[in-house]
């Protein structure tokens, strides 16, 4: 004997569409034919909060909720005013079931798994007059639905024959770029927060990406900055899941999980502490108070803004800040790589640290002098006056140099090298 079918009427509405998290309202009326329960309304959320909230996921969510509320041993008739569910789950089911790149993939699979579990016939009916209404005055319940597909009733993965080259590359791209995307997203927000706090302006995403590609930085620093943004280094957590190498995730000096931020800003490694002191020393030849350095500022150094007491911008101070800051962490990072990877356990002498940093900063100064050659570098060069304004006030024996010292030989920053063997 066949049971009386259960009938479900579904109505869906999205409030505030287009916003980051629109609200999904679902109304259900279900029961045996001729004996429907009263209208029920729900504000729907998904247990997997990465599922986007749009028209399609709202309907799939409503269906899943209806299925979860219905007895699986009786035939089922699902009535909606939209043909969408029937399309997704019947006519285009093969496509939908195999579109792994769809952000609603898990939700769709959860609905399919639930339908697979049904022991009786399920029908989708396209109706004109809906007996469920989201606009009724019945109370609104909050409902978070579990969107994890039941592994007993769905096929993980997709059918090879249904995939296209395009789909496979999209899936691969999603799988392998998402961690980078995640960290770069976090870093962009960090830079924005820091800059709006310390420099009183709020840079757009485009401005932040442009800033890290700035020609103020030599290619090597630009490259390192990009890698820091995307967290592509094998540092800290990276080693957590690699058998027998978990120890590499720890800073050997401080015995804490090692992160890029730790290496550059809080590690007790002598080269880190000393290089920041040298940077401050050089800065103080021209300006007061070296700003407190945070990770957001390391990544967004050339978005920093300084003003005179009268509120006039100080582009040369900003430029110098960005150069000194990036040179400091570039040197710290390279020495860290040497100590941890190239010559594990290496300890740097004070004189070696001092001279390494000094050589790097003098190298940057030479690079800038060379780049003022407009004939050679054209639009890739740097304006003479910009270089003069950036570095004047920081040079060794500057009183004996002409105002335009760009062509002079042996121009160096005003800190002397240290004799080897000291420290
Ligand atoms: Zn450390």
In angstroms, the CA 182 to CA 204 distance is: 18
Q: Tokens representing 214?
A: 């700035």
Distance 420 CA to ligand 1 centre (A): 25
- pLDDT tens digit string along 290-301? 999 999 999 999
Going from the Cα of 264 to the center of ligand 1, the distance in angstroms, rounded, reads: 9
Tokens found for residue 174: 């999603």
Is 200 found in the same domain as 156? no
Question: How far is ligand 1, taken at its centre, from the CA of residue 250, in Å?
Answer: 8
CA of 275 from ligand 1 middle (Å) equals: 15
What is residue 387's predicted lDDT score, i.e. its pLDDT?
96
pLDDT for 178: 47
Separation of CA 343 and ligand 1 centre (Å)? 17
Domain end marker among 137, 162, 187: 162
Residue 170 lies in a domain: no
What secondary structure letter does DSSP report for 101? T
Same domain assignment for residues 387 and 272: yes
Tell whether 353 and 376 lie within a shared domain.
yes
| CB neighbour class for 183 (10 Å; exposed up to 12, middle 13-18, buried from 19) | middle
294 within a domain of the structure (yes/no):
yes
Position 319 in a domain:
yes
- CA–centroid distance, residue 265 to ligand 1 (Å): 9
Task: Classify residue 63: in a domain, yes or no.
Answer: yes
204 and 322 co-located in one domain:
yes
Based on the fold, state whether residues 187 and 156 are members of the same structural domain.
no
**Do 153 and 179 fall into the same domain?**
no
CATH code of 12's domain: 3.30.420
Which carries the bigger pLDDT value, residue 194 or residue 235? 194
Instruction: Choose one of 98, 128, 162: the last residue of a domain.
Output: 162
Q: CB–CB of 250/257 below 8 Å?
A: yes
Give me 289's structure tokens. 């108070």
- The beta-carbon contacts of 306-314 under 8 Å, at least 24 apart in sequence, are none
Residue 146 Cα to ligand 1 midpoint, Å, equals 42
Residue 257 Cα to ligand 1 midpoint, Å, equals 8
The Å distance, Cα 272 to ligand 1 centre, comes to 9
CA of 314 to the centre of ligand 1 (A): 35
CA 259 to ligand 1 centroid distance, Å: 9
Same domain, 265 and 340: yes
Task: Compute the distance from residue 253 Cα to the ligand 1 centre, in Å.
Answer: 5
**Structural domain total, the chain:** 2
Centre of ligand 1 to C-alpha 229, Å, is 20
Average pLDDT, the chain: 86
pLDDT at 210: 85
Q: Is there a domain that residue 33 lies in?
A: yes
Q: Report whether pLDDT(423) > 60.
A: no
Examine the domain organization and report whether 180 and 140 are in the same domain. no
- Is residue 213 located within the same domain as residue 263? yes
328 Cα–ligand 1 center, Å: 16
Range(s) of the domain holding residue 11: 6-162
Query: Is the domain of 38 the same as that of 185?
Result: no
What whole-number distance in Å separates Cα of residue 187 and Cα of residue 297?
Answer: 11
Distance 231 CA to ligand 1 centre (A): 18
Residue 420 lies in a domain: no
Give a yes or no: residue 1 inside a domain: no
Q: Each residue of 75-102: pLDDT tens digit? A: 899 999 999 998 888 888 777 777 777 7
The answer to whether 48 touches 107, Cβ cutoff 8 Å, is yes
Contacts of residue 332, Cβ cutoff 8 Å, sequence gap at least 6: 263, 264, 269, 271, 272, 275, 276
239, 258 in Cβ contact below 8 A? no
Separation of CA 352 and ligand 1 centre (Å): 19
Query: Looking at residues 204-212, what average pLDDT do you find?
Result: 86
Indicate whether 389 belongs to any domain. yes
250 DSSP 8-state letter: B
Handedness of CA 226, 228, 230, 234 (dihedral sign): positive
Same domain, 125 and 51: yes
pTM assigned to the model: 0.58
Q: Quote the ligand 1 centre to 166 CA distance (angstroms).
A: 45
Is there a single domain that holds both residue 210 and residue 345?
yes
Instruction: Summarize pLDDT for 31-82 with one digit per residue, the tens.
Output: 988 788 899 999 998 887 778 888 899 999 999 999 988 887 888 999 999 9
Ligand 1 centroid – CA 270 distance (Å): 10
Higher pLDDT: 82 or 240? It is: 82
Separation of alpha carbons 88 and 197, rounded Å? 48
């Amino acid at each position: 004997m066949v049971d009386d079918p259960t009938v479900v009427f579904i109505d869906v509405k999205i409030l505030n569409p287009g916003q980051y998290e629109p609200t999904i309202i679902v109304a259900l009326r279900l029961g045996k034919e001729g004996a429907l329960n009263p209208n029920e309304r729900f504000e729907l959320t998904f247990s997997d909060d990465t599922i986007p909230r749009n028209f399609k996921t709202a309907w799939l969510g409503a269906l899943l909720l209806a299925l979860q509320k219905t007895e699986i041993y009786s035939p089922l008739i699902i009535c909606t005013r939209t043909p969408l569910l029937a399309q997704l789950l019947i006519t285009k089911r093969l496509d939908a079931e195999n579109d792994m790149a769809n952000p609603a993939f898990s939700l769709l699979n959860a609905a399919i798994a639930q339908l697979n579990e049904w022991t009786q016939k399920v029908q989708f009916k396209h109706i004109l007059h809906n007996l469920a209404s989201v606009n009724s005055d019945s109370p609104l319940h909050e409902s978070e639905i579990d969107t994890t597909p039941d592994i007993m009733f769905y096929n993980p993965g997709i059918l090879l024959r249904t995939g296209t080259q395009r789909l496979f590359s999209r899936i691969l791209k999603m799988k392998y770029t998402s961690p980078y995307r995640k960290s770069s997203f976090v870093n962009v927000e960090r830079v924005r927060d820091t800059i709006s706090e310390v420099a009183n302006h709020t840079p757009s995403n485009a401005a932040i990406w442009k800033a890290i590609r700035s020609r103020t930085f030599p290619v090597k620093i630009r490259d390192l900055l990009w890698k820091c943004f995307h967290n592509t280094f094998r540092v800290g957590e990276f080693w957590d899941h690699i058998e027998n190498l978990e120890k590499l995730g720890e800073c050997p000096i401080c015995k804490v999980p090692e992160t890029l931020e730790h290496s550059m800003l809080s590690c007790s490694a002598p080269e880190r502490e000393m290089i920041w002191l040298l940077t401050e020393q050089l800065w103080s030849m021209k300006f007061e108070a070296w700003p407190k350095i945070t990770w957001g500022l390391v990544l967004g150094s050339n978005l920093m803004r300084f003003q005179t007491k009268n509120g006039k911008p100080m582009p040369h101070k900003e430029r110098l800040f960005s150069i000194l800051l990036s040179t400091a962490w570039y040197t710290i990072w390279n020495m860290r790589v040497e100590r941890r990877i190239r010559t594990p356990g290496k300890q740097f002498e004070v004189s070696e640290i001092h001279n390494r940093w000094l050589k790097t900063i003098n190298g940057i100064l030479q690079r800038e002098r060379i780049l003022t050659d407009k004939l050679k570098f054209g639009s890739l060069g740097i304006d003479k006056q910009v270089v003069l304004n950036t570095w004047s006030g920081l040079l060794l024996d500057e009183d004996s140099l002409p105002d335009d010292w760009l062509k002079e030989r042996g121009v160096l920053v005003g800190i002397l090298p240290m004799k080897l063997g000291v420290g």
